[in-house]
Structure 1
Amino acid sequence: MPKMMLGPMQVDRSFESEQLTRRLGIEIITCEKGLVVGTMPISGNRQPVGILHGGANAVLAETLGSVAAFLYASPGGNAVGIDLSCTHHRWVSSGTVTGVCRPLDERQSVASYEIVVTDDSGNRTCTARLTCAIRRGGGRRRGLRNAPGQRTEPDDIRRTEHR
C-alpha cells in the first residue's frame, strides 16, 4: 500500500483517514521551494448561506504555508504554524479556489509566507499570512549546547535572527 503524502510530508498511517485536507478536497498542484500551489473546491466547504466558509480558506492557507515551511526546513527538519491571519476580500459560491504561497521571509528559526487565494476568474478572494517556527534538519546549528556549559561555537560569533 503506497504511503499517503502531503507534498513532501509523509502522513502517519494511523492518521490517514483523519486528514482535514482530504475532507476539504485540497490538492497540492505545485510543490517546490519558494512556491506551493493548491486548489480546493467550494462544494462541501460552504457556510450555511452557500458561500465558501472562511475557515476553509484558513485551512487551505495554513496547509500551503506549512508545506512551504516544511520544504524550507530541509530534510530532517520540521515546521509548525504559530500565527495565521486571513483577510477575506470577496465571497465565492461555486467552482474552485486556488492558493499560491510564496515566502515573505525565511530565517533560521522562523519563516513567514503570503498565501493569495483566487477564484476561477482570477479574482483575489482571500489574502493570508502564515508564520511558522522552523527546526532545521541535518547537522549542528549555531549556539546549541553539546553538554552543560559547552557550546558548539563561541558566543561571540553567533548570529542574531533580528536585523
Structure 2
Amino acid sequence: MIFSKEQVLEFCNQFSKNTLMQTLQIEYIDAGEDFLVAKMPVTPAVHQPMGILHGGASVALAESVGSAASHFFINPEKQEIRGIEISANHLKSIREGVVFGTAKIIHKGKTLHLWEIKITDESGNLISLCKLTNMVLDKNVK
C-alpha cells in the first residue's frame, strides 16, 4: 500500500462527509494491501418495515466500501471510479448491532476492478455476500 493505513482511513472518512455514507453512519475502520473494511450501525434508520436490516442499506455499504477501495489503485488526478454492476445475496437477517463490510479485490485490471464484499455481524456471521464491478474512467482533464 502506497499510503499508511491511517491515511487511507482518514481519506475515506473525510471523503464521505455530506454523502449517503454519512447519512448511513458508515465509518471506515481497517485497510490493507488488498482490502478495506467499513462498519455501519443497524438501527431503525436502516430497517425495512419488518424491523430488519434493509437489503438496500447492505448494498449501499457494499458499494461504498468497494468503490472507496478502488480509489487506491488509480491516479486520482487523471482517473475516477464508477460502479457499473453490483449483486447481493442476503443470507441472514439482523435487527440491531453493527455490520461490517469487508471488500477484497478479486481482479485488478487497468479498466475494471472486481470486488467481493462480505457483510458480517459482530460475531462474524455472514449477513450478505456482494460482488461489485467498478470501471476506471479517465477524467476529462484540460
Question: Which TM-score band applies after superposition, normalised by the shorter structure?
Answer: 0.7 to 0.9
Name stretches of at least 5 consecutive residues in structure 2 with no aligned partner.
1-9
**One-letter code of the match for 2:136?**
I
CA separation in 1, counterparts of 2:72 and 2:32?
7
Q: Could you tell me which residue of structure 1 aligns to residue 98 of structure 2?
A: 96
User: Cα distance 1:8–1:118, how it changes in 2: closer, same or farther (>3 A)?
Assistant: closer
What is the CA-CA distance between 1:35 and the residue it aligns to? 1.1
Tell me the amino acid that sits aligned with residue 111 of structure 1: H
CA contact (8 A) 1:32 1:71 kept: no
Identity %: 31
Task: Check conservation: 1:33, 1:71, Cα contact below 8 A.
Answer: no
- TM-score using structure 2 length: 0.82
Find out whether 1:127 has 2:132 as its counterpart.
no
The unaligned stretches of length 5 or more in structure 1 are: 138-163
When normalised by structure 1's length, the TM-score is 0.72
In terms of Rg, which structure is larger? 1
1:59 matched residue in structure 2: 60
Between stretches 122-131 and 30-39, larger displacement belongs to: 30-39
Structure 1 residue 72: Cα displacement: 1.1
RMSD: 2.0
Which protein has the bigger helix share? 2
| Count of paired positions | 128
Consecutive aligned runs of 4 or more in structure 1 exceeding 6 Å deviation: none
Please name the residue that 1:87 is paired with.
Answer: 89
